[in-house]
Amino acid sequence: MRLVTLITGASSGIGAELARVFAAHGHELVLVARREHELAALADEIAAAGGARPIVLPLDLGRRDAVARIAAELAARELEPANVVNNAGFGLAGAAASLDRDEQLALIDLNVRALTELSLAFIDSLAGHRGGILNVASVVAFLPGPGMAAYYASKAYVLSFSEALHRELKPRGVRVTALCPGPVATGFQARAGLRADGSGERNLLALPARRVAEIGYRGFVAGKRVVIAGIGNRIAMFFVRFVPHALLLPIVADRMRDARADRDVGKL
């Protein structure tokens, strides 16, 4: 059996950068996402840089049988996960009552159900190889989210679930880390219906996806429970914990309204 690191949502953004960082540290990878062409291009790039060419699994994690199919593919290739990186996810901007309900349920299915299933599917393998789970949450996990209610709530789940797993699996030698980035310019914003920087002004909390991936990898290897990417985000989240939600709710709602309005203006 060969040991691999499984990375979901690896076709772009933070997921692709995590793949590059793990590969640079000698990990053999299995990359999962819907877009086969982008996955293949990334695999070629990693191989050209001198790493083992990652195995590409083009797959929609929203399918109920997705994790079973991944497990079957790994078994057929005689691969065992030493690490699982759950990065796949998407957001939707707008009032929950006005957004398409099926899309919001699909968000929960991917961001919550698929992440939970993948986190639990390979525990014995992770424990046997003293590996771990890196779950990509967000700084919005610490906040209520009017204007992106389902997305904020899904990331709050990821953070809470990951922290609990960290405590439960530590005695078995399994590291579990929740990575909480702030704003990152990726394809996520376009899918969610937001500007690329998340607001109408320059966002001082934003970091490049590569930097987020490097911070996440270091924290994961160090066995940290929660990694907030960037000193600005760490300072902001420190103070957020002291602000009542009654005060945070209108602030977040206003920021989300501005972000959507700016995007709409840009489309005219």
Q: Measuring CA to CA, how many Å separate 21 from each of 10, 24, 44, 85, 228? A: 12, 5, 15, 12, 18
Angle formed at CA 200 by CA 194 and CA 201, multiple of 5 degrees? 130
CA distance 172 to 127: 6
Exposed / middle / buried, residue 45 (Cβ in 10 Å: 0-12, 13-18, 19+): middle
CB neighbours (10 Å) of residue 179? 29
CA distance 163 to 157: 10
CA distance 117 to 226: 20
CA distance 238 to 39: 37
User: Is 152 among the catalytic positions?
Assistant: no
> Which is catalytic among the residues 151, 152, 157, 217?
151
Asked whether 30 and 55 are in contact (CB, 8 A), the reply is yes
Residues annotated as part of the active site: 151
